Amino acid sequence: MKLARALLTLAVALSSAAAVANAFLLRPSSQVVHRLSPGAAAPGIKANRNVVRMQQQPGEGGGEKPFYRYTAKDIDGNDVDMAQFRGKPVMVVNVASRCGFTKANYNDMSGMKSLVDEGFEILAFPCSQFGNQEPLPNDQIKVWVQNKYPTFPGRLMSKIDVNGKNAHPLFEYLKDNLPSGSASPFNPLLSFVTGKGPNDIQWNFEKFLIDRNGNLISRHPSFKAPNDLIPDIRRLLAQPPPPPPPQQQSGDSPVTTPTERQAAA
């Protein structure tokens, strides 16, 4: 157990060093993963070796974006339809209350109220699949965040799994379409230490950015600070508003369970 923790610490440290080096070098890398539009990044957003980006998703071309077909429950158990975020940039992040990344991530996100006031949305999904670092039930998670980070402007969601057979369909969709978590030279080592698959969420506080139109834009590893994403978020906020939503086709419905997701594929 001590060896595994030491290797995890080493992997995160090496990944962080790679991120710092890349910030100074400012060079795009072949490790960036592009889907459907190789070499293309979201408008105004630079390529970066510690980011996986996606310009288009299957099924695009004027129709409803797949992201908007998913639903999830908030921390109080109420259904939240992703379609309600149409026209807003969104960050989806898996969170935990007892992680080494907790304080820095919650502090950064708590400082994003001005961005939220401009239309940005943070969807924070508690998860305890990484070292059991979110052992609290939903009601206690809510109280903990309210007491510890009272200015947190995001939307707390219900506790879920993000990997494995019980993974929430929204995270399955995000992982399938923005693969290879950190896109870091040390991601294979991190994957080996955590025992997760190469496309799985590797640890707490992985982050996904979605633009105003429901396009998946980028995936960021745990060590990527939310504040480092502010330039990208501002560029997404500067995008023109999307066109009116298309008419829902007969038979279409939000995807809420793995069985429904498989049937809808």
Could you give the CA distance from residue 72 to residue 157 in angstroms, rounded to a whole number? 8
Say which of 99, 160, 170, 255 is annotated catalytic: 99
Q: How many CB atoms are closer than 10 A to CB 214?
A: 23
- 127 burial (CB, 10 Å; 0-12 / 13-18 / 19+) is buried
Triad 47, 196, 254: Cα angle to 5°: 75
Residues 6+ apart with CB under 8 A from 26: 46
Residue 127 appears among annotated catalytic residues: no
Q: How many CB atoms are closer than 10 A to CB 265?
A: 7
Q: Which amino acid is at 64?
A: E
Nearest to 88 by CA among 254, 203, 213: 213
Contact 94, 206 (CB under 8 A): yes
DSSP assigned state of 45: -
Task: Please name the helix (run of DSSP H) or strand (run of DSSP E) that holds residue 144, with its range, or none.
Answer: helix 138-148
Catalytic residues: 99
